[in-house]
């Protein structure tokens, strides 16, 4: 089986966790026990929402949560160690002693990686808190965490409640009220600035969504036909020229484009043993 098929199968399996065997998996998860000590706080988010995730990391440390129990892939020092496989590390990190904070937005549900994380977290962990980023709403929540009590990322009372919950489950001494209010207000100011900026940029995504990525990918491959060009290089160029990561286009979306072009025999990948899929050189079939 090719690396490409392996990758697709892994993601299809994770995403299918939402739709098959829910009742059985939920029963198994509930039997793990609700009163186990939390050893890890895992922030699940779209890479496009990394600024929100970084604010949450800062908020947690302001609550006196130890750095070494916080995992956030987008914040340097809190993510996957160098040399580790991303998906394998996530699977090995999540367990019944993990608290998962889901940072929910439209970008989250458009991300295959986020859906994989949600599926894995639902199966392997007991404690989940949805955190919605406006203009996303509670009614927009889908998947296995529907019905979970959540909070809004920019609501004063909700952030106070999150602090109380974190202190309770980790056994942290309550922060001095004056210090906490100052830090919370700084956090809320930054979050509301991010939300305002995002609303102003929303209209630009309409223009970006009209770009024909399939045509651009094929053109890049054809123009580099002598030496070939890898998936990673294609994504890097598209991101530099079009800021694709800001508009929900991830490297996994490029995989899908390449698969379609290969199935139509417009391109071919030069596969070698030991070469990761993202490093396989692609050439146009002329």
Residues 98 and 220 in one domain: no
Q: State the pLDDT confidence band at 71, using cuts at 50, 70 and 90.
A: very high
Q: What is the pLDDT of residues 118-171, one digit of tens each?
A: 888 888 888 899 999 998 888 888 877 877 789 999 999 999 999 999 999 999
Q: Beta-carbon neighbour count of residue 63 at 10 Å?
A: 19
Radius of gyration over every alpha carbon of the chain, rounded to an integer in angstroms:
21
pLDDT digits (tens, 9 = 90+) for 216-226: 888 889 888 88
Q: Which active-site residues does the annotation give?
A: 117
Number of domains in the chain: 2
State the average pLDDT over residues 218-238.
Answer: 87
pLDDT per residue as tens digits for the range 185-194: 999 999 999 9
The alpha carbon of residue 179 and the mean position of all alpha carbons in its chain are separated, in whole angstroms, by 31
- The CB density around residue 221, as the number of other CB atoms within 10 Å, is 23
Same domain, 185 and 270: no
CA distance 51 to 61: 16
Answer whether residue 42 is part of any domain: yes
Q: What's the half-sphere exposure (Cβ side, CA atoms, 13 Å) at 67?
A: 7
Per-residue pLDDT band for 200 (boundaries 50, 70, 90) equals: low
Quickly state the pLDDT bin for 199 (edges 50, 70, 90).
confident
253 plus 195 within the same structural domain: no
- The domain boundary, picked from 199, 220, 253, lies at 199
- Span 204-208, average pLDDT: 45
CATH of the domain at 241: 1.10.10.10
268 pairs with which residues across the strands? Answer: 283
* Residue 95: burial class (beta carbons within 10 Å; 0-12, 13-18, 19+): middle
192 and 221, same domain (yes or no): no
Do 221 and 250 lie in one domain? The reply is yes
- From 199, 230, 260, the end of a domain falls on 199
Residue 4 within a domain:
no
**Using CA atoms, how far apart are residues 31 and 22, in angstroms rounded to an integer?**
14
Whether 237 shows a pLDDT value over 80: the answer reads yes
From the list 117, 192, 127, the residue with the least C-alpha distance to 166 is 127
Strand-pair category, 151-152 with 127-132: parallel
- Tell me, yes or no, whether 66 and 188 share the same domain: yes
**Which residues lie below 8 Å from residue 53, measured CB to CB, with a gap of 6+?**
43, 45, 72, 74, 75, 103
Residues 6+ apart with CB under 8 A from 215: none
Report the pLDDT value the prediction gives residue 61, as an integer from 0 to 100: 95
Q: How far apart are CA 144 and CA 251, in angstroms?
A: 25
Backbone angles phi, psi at 279, to 5 degrees: -105, 0
Question: Structure pTM?
Answer: 0.62
Residues 193 and 278 in one domain: no
**Residue 26 predicted with pLDDT over 70:** no
Residues 194 and 270 in one domain: no
Q: Which domain holds residue 264?
A: 212-284
Last residue of a domain, one of 141, 164, 199: 199
């Amino acid at each position: 089986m090719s690396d490409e098929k392996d990758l697709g199968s892994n993601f299809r399996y994770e995403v299918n966790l939402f739709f098959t065997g829910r009742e059985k998996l939920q029963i198994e998860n509930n039997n793990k026990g609700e009163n186990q000590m939390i050893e890890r706080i895992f922030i699940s988010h779209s890479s496009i929402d990394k600024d929100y995730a970084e604010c949450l990391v800062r908020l947690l440390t302001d609550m006196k949560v130890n750095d070494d129990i916080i995992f956030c892939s987008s914040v340097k020092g809190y993510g996957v160690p160098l040399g580790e496989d991303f998906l394998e590390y996530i699977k090995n990190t999540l367990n019944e002693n993990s608290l998962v904070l889901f940072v929910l937005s439209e970008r989250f549900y458009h991300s295959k990686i986020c859906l994989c994380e949600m599926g894995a977290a639902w199966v392997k962990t007991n404690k989940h808190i949805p955190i919605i980023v406006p203009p996303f709403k509670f009614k927009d929540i889908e998947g296995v965490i529907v019905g979970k009590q959540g909070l809004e990322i920019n609501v004063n009372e909700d952030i106070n409640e999150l602090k109380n919950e974190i202190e309770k489950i980790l056994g942290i001494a309550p922060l001095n009220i004056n210090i906490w209010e100052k830090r919370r207000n700084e956090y809320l100011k930054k979050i509301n600035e991010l939300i305002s900026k995002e609303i102003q940029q929303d209209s630009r995504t309409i223009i970006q969504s009209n770009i024909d990525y399939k045509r651009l990918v094929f053109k890049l491959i054809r123009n580099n036909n002598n030496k070939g060009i890898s998936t990673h290089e294609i994504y890097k160029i598209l991101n530099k020229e079009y800021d694709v990561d800001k508009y929900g286009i991830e490297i996994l979306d490029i995989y899908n484009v390449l698969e379609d072009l290969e199935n139509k025999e417009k391109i071919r990948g030069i596969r070698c043993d030991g070469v990761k899929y993202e490093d396989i050189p692609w050439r146009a079939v002329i």
